[in-house]
Amino acid sequence: MRTTSLKILGDRVLVRPDEAEKTERGIYLPEAAQERPQRGTVVAVGEGRRLKNGTLLPPDVKVGDRVMYGRYSGNEVTVDGQKLLIIGTNALFAVIDE
């Protein structure tokens, strides 16, 4: 399945989590010993949340934004061999300006 074949629905986003970081001495930890990343890049965005009066409220993020989210937020999916997260916009904490 390709990222382009996914249509993210509602107020959800598809996020590519950052890669695991090295320790101070340059050692990569095995995946089982690492904490889940809490930052990533938005790959796809849904249309937004529909309000009770029918108005569409667009999401606060766009493709390419770097975001911070909760440690256990979202649902993990594998697309093109990459592990990505589908996260509701309400679980995003911040957009990171770099």
Q: Which token pair is 62? A: 């766009």
Identify the residue whose tokens are 């309400």: 90
What's this model's pTM, rounded to 2 decimal places?
A: 0.78
Residue 23's H or E segment, with its range, is none
pLDDT value at 95 more than 70: yes
Task: Give the separation between CA 34 and CA 28, rounded to whole angstroms.
Answer: 9
How confident is the model over 4-47, as pLDDT tens digits? 578 999 999 999 998 765 555 666 655 554 556 689 999 999 99
Domains of the chain: 3-96 (2.30.33.40)
Task: Give the separation between CA 59 and CA 45, rounded to whole angstroms.
Answer: 8
Residues in the chain: 98
How confident is the model over 48-90, as pLDDT tens digits? 999 999 999 999 999 999 999 988 889 999 988 889 999 999 9
pLDDT value at 91 more than 80: yes
